[in-house]
Amino acid sequence: MEYSSNTKEVLARLAIIRAQIATGVFSDALVAGLNAGMGIMKRRIFNQSLDALGNSLGPYFSDQYERDRRRAGRQTARKDLEFTGTLRRSIEVVSVNNARAEIRITNPEEADIARKQEEMIFNLLNDLPYNAYGSGKVPIFELNADEVDIVRTTTAELLAQKFNF
In this predicted model, which residue has the larger pLDDT, 142 or 80?
A: 142
Tens digits of residue pLDDT in 52-71: 999 999 888 888 989 999 99
- Domain residue spans of the chain: 10-107+142-163
Tell me if 88 sits within 8 A of 38, measured CB to CB.
no
State the chain's mean pLDDT as an integer.
Answer: 89
Taking residues 25-37, what's their average pLDDT?
89
Tell me the pLDDT band of 1, cut-offs 50, 70 and 90: low
Does this model's pTM top 0.85?
no
Q: Which pLDDT value is given to residue 115?
A: 95
Taking residues 30-39, what's their average pLDDT?
95
Query: Three-state DSSP class for 156?
Result: helix
Tens digits of residue pLDDT in 84-133: 999 999 999 998 887 789 999 999 999 999 999 999 999 988 888 877 87
Residue 24 has pLDDT above 70, yes or no: no
Q: Which residues pair with 102 in a beta bridge?
A: 94
Residue 117 and residue 113: Cα distance in Å, rounded? 6
Tell me if 74 sits within 8 A of 85, measured CB to CB.
no
